Structures are given as structure tokens and as C-alpha cells.
Amino acid sequence: MRTLGALAALALLAPFAAPVTGGPVSADSFYALKTTTLQGQPAELSQYAGKVALVVNVASQCGLTPQYEGLQKLYDELKDQGFVVLGFPSNDFGGQEPGTAEEIEGFCKKNYGVTFPMFSKLVTKQGPEQSPIYSRLGQTGSLPTWNFAKYVVDKDGNGIQFFNSKIAPDAPELRQAIEAALAR
């Protein structure tokens, strides 16, 4: 009887359970990488496998910081279609992300209502300190040269298109790349 009661309780809680990951990923997939959340918790990017991701190196004190608004809007519009924005703070360009994780999180929520996943600060530039995330993304042939560079990553974790910082979140060419990846 106890087992049936436990099973019934689990059945009631099932709708509130954590989402199932996109399944197994290949070792060379972006989604095979691990990182740390902005709150300092370990995070496996495999939880986004099966989704199209827009990976962005972000900064709070940049002239392009208002792009957070467009990123959040894009996330809100497309998240139910299997899309996610992944923000990676970086202090690589002009020292424009000097804050602590708590300061970055507070700034993003207060000023732009950011709810998309944000991760710990990392190095995007090529070299010995470069994050494995940007090492993998750099295999597309492009690395950020400034804050708010964007990569469209397909459902299998392949970086399929790079957009420089000047391409705003509402740019038609970015939207087309995301929609094409979602349609695959």
C-alpha cells in the first residue's frame, strides 16, 4: 500500500518535475560542455540539447547593453518553440563587465527583466584562459571582437551561424537564422 501511495504522490508531482534534457549528446557538441550558473551552481549545457540556443557574451556597462531588452523579448517570443538565450558575462572588451555575479544578476533583472539563463563570467578571447565554451564556439571560425556577439547553436549543439555585436536581437537576418534552425 505504501508503494502505491508513493507512486500516486509522484504522479501528482510529475507536472512540476524538472524538464527532461534533450537526450544524449555527442562529445563534440556545444551541449556536452559544463559551466557554472551566475549563482555559482554547476550547470550542464546538455539540459538545452534539443533546443536552438542563441549564445551571447554580455556586459553590463557597454554601449550595447540595451540589447538585453531585445534578447529578453526574443526569448519570451520563442521559448515555447524550443528556443533559449544563454548569456555569458565577459569582461574581455573594455572591462565593461567588472561586477560580481550578484551585481550582474541584479542589474539584468532590475533594468531589463532578464529571465533567460545566465552563467558565470568567462573569457571569450583566444588564449590559455579562454573558456572551453568559447573555444568550442570559435570552431565556427569566428570569435567575439566585442560584447554582445551572438552564435546560433542548433538542436544538436553545432554552432551554425555567428553574428557580430552590431547585429541587434531584432535584426531580420538573426531572426531568420533562428527560425531556420527551429524548423530543422
Residues that are catalytic = 111
- Where b means 16+ CB within 10 Å and e means fewer, 115-131 reads ebbbbbbbbbbeeeebb
The amino acid that residue 110 corresponds to is K
Other beta carbons within 10 angstroms of residue 97's beta carbon come to: 23
Strands 150-153 and 159-163: antiparallel
Cα angle 91, 126, 52 (rounded to 5 degrees) comes to: 80
Alpha carbon distance 105, 37 (integer Å): 11
Q: Which of 173, 164, 115, 109 is nearest to 142 (CA)?
A: 164
* Distance (Å, whole) CA 35 – CA 122: 10
Residue matched to cell numbers 533559449: 84
Residue pair 48/25 in contact (Cβ under 8 Å)? The answer is: no
